[in-house]
């Protein structure tokens, strides 16, 4: 029996050119085996500011793209920096737009913390906040795939990828945990959710 293709949506919390968070996700994307499709969400800057009054059909096209990407994915992997002890506002905006559609409810999710060793808290406040927000959305956190993999800027090569063997080995373990979760049967408490 052939396994169904696995689809993963990768979401960076940074809009910065040369972002180490985006480099982590691009590297993860490049490492996926042939039976895994990993799509990098690149609509962060195009999303309108979240306003509940606008959360109805017809949705802004950028919101529709985001929600369709989440719905099509078997899991979502986030990688975000910490700004001023919390999630970046633009990234929190992405999360706010996931609430009303319900696509992320019951969806397996994970995050990679790429904060360098020099970061005072290692980005812990941002990732604690991310855990809290994902709890509100009803997402299923894949604990084994939520990892800290410190990435220094000098590790990112000209093509935007990371070739450091230790980083790639840690990414491979996180990716394996995500793929394994997607291939498990749905949890009992989410199996009967409407599609």
Helix, strand, or coil (residue 39): strand
* Mean pLDDT, the chain, integer: 91
Domains with residue ranges and CATH for the chain: 6-182 (3.40.50.360)
Measured between alpha carbons, how far is 56 from 41 in angstroms, rounded to an integer?
A: 22
Measured between alpha carbons, how far is 39 from 30 in angstroms, rounded to an integer?
A: 10
Q: What is the pLDDT of residue 108?
A: 98
What are the pLDDT digits (tens) for 126-160? 889 999 999 999 999 999 999 999 999 999 999 99
Confidence of residue 119 (pLDDT cuts 50, 70, 90): low
Confidence of residue 122 (pLDDT cuts 50, 70, 90): confident
What are the pLDDT digits (tens) for 29-88? 999 999 999 999 999 999 999 999 999 999 999 999 999 999 999 999 999 998 888 899
How much of the chain, in percent, has pLDDT values that exceed 70? 91
What are the pLDDT digits (tens) for 154-180? 999 999 999 999 999 999 999 999 999
DSSP bridge pairs for 111: 78
How much of the chain, in percent, has pLDDT values that exceed 90? 79
Give yes or no for a contact between 66 and 98, defined as CB atoms under 8 angstroms apart.
yes
Helix (H) or strand (E) holding 132: helix 124-137
Burial of 139 (0-12, 13-18, 19+ CB in 10 A): buried
């Amino acid at each position: 029996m052939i396994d169904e293709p696995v689809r993963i949506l990768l979401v960076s919390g940074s809009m910065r050119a040369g972002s180490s968070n985006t480099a982590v996700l691009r590297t993860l994307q490049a490492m996926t085996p042939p039976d895994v499709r990993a799509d990098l969400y690149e609509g962060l800057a195009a999303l309108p500011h979240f306003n509940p009054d606008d959360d109805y059909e017809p949705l802004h096209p950028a919101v529709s793209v985001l929600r369709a990407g989440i719905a099509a994915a078997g899991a979502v992997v986030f990688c975000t920096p910490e700004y001023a002890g919390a999630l970046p506002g633009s990234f929190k905006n992405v999360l706010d737009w996931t609430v009303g559609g319900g696509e992320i409810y019951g969806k397996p999710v994970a995050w990679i913390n790429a904060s360098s060793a020099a970061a005072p808290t290692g980005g812990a406040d941002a990732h604690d906040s991310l855990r809290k927000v994902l709890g509100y959305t009803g997402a299923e956190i894949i604990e084994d795939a939520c990892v800290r993999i410190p990435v220094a800027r000098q590790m990112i090569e000209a093509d935007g990828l990371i070739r450091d063997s230790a980083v790639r080995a840690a990414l491979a373990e996180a990716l394996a945990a995500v793929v394994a979760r997607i291939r498990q049967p749905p949890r009992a408490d989410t199996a009967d959710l409407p599609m």
